């Protein structure tokens, strides 16, 4: 196996008496898109800034591109691109000039116009940065991080505040970067973003990784029961449901939900019953737990008491 781009064992960080990151283990392979998810204050920024070499750790072993980020040099910095949550640009420069200025900081930068196109700003290359929309500024941030042609890119909440179409466009840009073979570390609060972009996700809660793996398998969600839900028509009683559905159903007013490991026979029985009785299964939905369901379960204050502590067997599906 190739050397990992990032490896960390027992990474921890304390601010005074407060332990913000409590001994996390990570391994990110070349070309992976790896996302950190977690509630406010979970320790995402702290972890990422330690990996970026911008914050000192309190303990643990860390290697990023083969070096300890606490002791990096300029050559290492040139291999790493960072897009922070807020980036201040010189307002009087145009997009092309800003990218060209950054290109000057690197020994072998990417071509300026190519970089501008890569983030979809070719139509705005001659516009002053102060005249860009929020979404366009964010793309310019990505262009500035890319112009040095880094191997590893950190994107901190890259689409916060974007409208839905700007988000989709940003996802396309990130997809292009993945196709170029870049390793990307993403922090995000959007489940759909992690689902769409990340090869693997780590959920951080209270400074610990409580689940890690491909988004489709996180928290074993691919193996969990499927939920069938619908509304019973007025005047109908749950006692009328067919046998299996009646046995499994949870009823709240007119709302019926059924959890089944194998939903097909239950659905077959239900739809046959409804067809025979001439009923509509109003609002019928069939779904597996979403990434958001698993996330909320793992990060809620009511999560099992040992969640977030080292003894809990890690749900590592990756």
Token couple for 84: 């922070």
Of the pair 43, 219, the CB lying nearest ligand ATP is at: 43
* Helices of type H across the chain: 44-52, 74-77, 95-103, 112-118, 134-146, 164-179, 191-197, 243-248, 263-277, 291-299
Closest approach, Cβ 312 to ligand ATP, in A, equals: 19
137/160 with CB nearer ligand ATP: 160
Which is nearer to ligand ATP, 129 or 299 (by Cβ)?
299
d(CA 43, CA 21): 6
Coil vs helix vs strand at 79: coil
Q: Smallest gap, in angstroms, from Cβ of residue 163 to ligand ATP?
A: 21
Residue 140 Cβ, how far from ligand ATP at the closest point, in Å? 22
The least CB distance from residue 206 to ligand ATP, in Å, is: 9
String marking each residue 6-35 x if it binds ligand ATP according to CB under 6 A: ---------x----x---------------
Give the Cα separation of 184 and 304 in Å (integer). 31
Minimum CB separation from ligand ATP for residue 192, in Å?
A: 17
Cβ closer to ligand ATP: 123 or 161?
161
Q: What residues numbered 39-98 form the site for ligand ATP, per CB under 6 A?
A: 40-46
Residues listed for the chain: 318
Matching residue, tokens 């019928």: 284
The number of beta carbons lying within 10 Å of the beta carbon of residue 36 is: 24
Q: How far apart are CA 60 and CA 9, in angstroms?
A: 6
Pairing of strands 80-83, 59-64: unpaired
**Of 36-44, 177-185, 233-241, 278-286, which segment contacts ligand ATP by CB under 6 A?**
36-44
Q: Which is nearer to ligand ATP, 3 or 86 (CB)?
A: 86
Both tokens of 73, joined, read: 């040099």
Residues contributing to the site for ligand ATP (CB under 6 A): 15, 20, 38, 40-46
């Amino acid at each position: 196996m190739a050397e990992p781009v990032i490896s960390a064992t027992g990474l921890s960080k304390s601010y005074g008496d407060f332990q913000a990151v409590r001994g996390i283990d990570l391994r990110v392979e070349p070309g992976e898109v790896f996302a950190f998810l977690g509630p406010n204050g979970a320790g995402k920024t702290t972890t990422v800034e330690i990996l970026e070499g911008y914050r000192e750790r309190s303990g643990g072993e860390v290697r990023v591109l083969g070096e300890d980020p606490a002791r990096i040099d300029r050559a290492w910095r040139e291999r790493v691109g960072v897009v922070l949550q807020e980036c201040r640009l010189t307002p009087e420069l145009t997009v092309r000039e800003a990218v060209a200025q950054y290109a000057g900081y690197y020994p072998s930068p990417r071509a300026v116009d190519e970089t501008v196109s890569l983030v979809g700003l070719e139509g705005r290359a001659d516009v002053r940065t102060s005249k860009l929309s929020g979404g366009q500024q964010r793309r310019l941030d990505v262009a500035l991080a890319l112009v040095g042609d880094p191997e590893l890119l950190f994107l901190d909440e890259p689409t916060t505040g974007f409208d839905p179409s700007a988000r989709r466009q940003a996802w396309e840009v990130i997809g292009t970067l993945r196709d170029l073979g870049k390793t990307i570390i993403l922090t995000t609060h959007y489940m759909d973003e992690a689902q769409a972009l990340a090869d693997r996700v780590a959920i951080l809660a209270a400074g610990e990784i409580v689940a890690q793996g491909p988004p489709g398998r996180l928290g074993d969600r691919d193996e969990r029961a499927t939920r069938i839900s619908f509304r019973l028509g007025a005047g109908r009683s749950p006692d009328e449901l067919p046998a299996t559905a009646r046995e499994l159903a949870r009823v709240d007013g007119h709302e019926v939900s059924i959890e089944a490991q194998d939903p097909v026979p239950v659905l077959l029985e239900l739809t046959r019953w409804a067809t025979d009785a001439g009923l509509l299964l109003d609002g019928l939905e069939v779904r597996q737990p979403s990434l958001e369901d698993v996330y909320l379960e793992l990060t809620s204050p009511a999560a099992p008491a040992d969640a977030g502590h080292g003894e809990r067997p890690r749900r590592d599906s990756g």
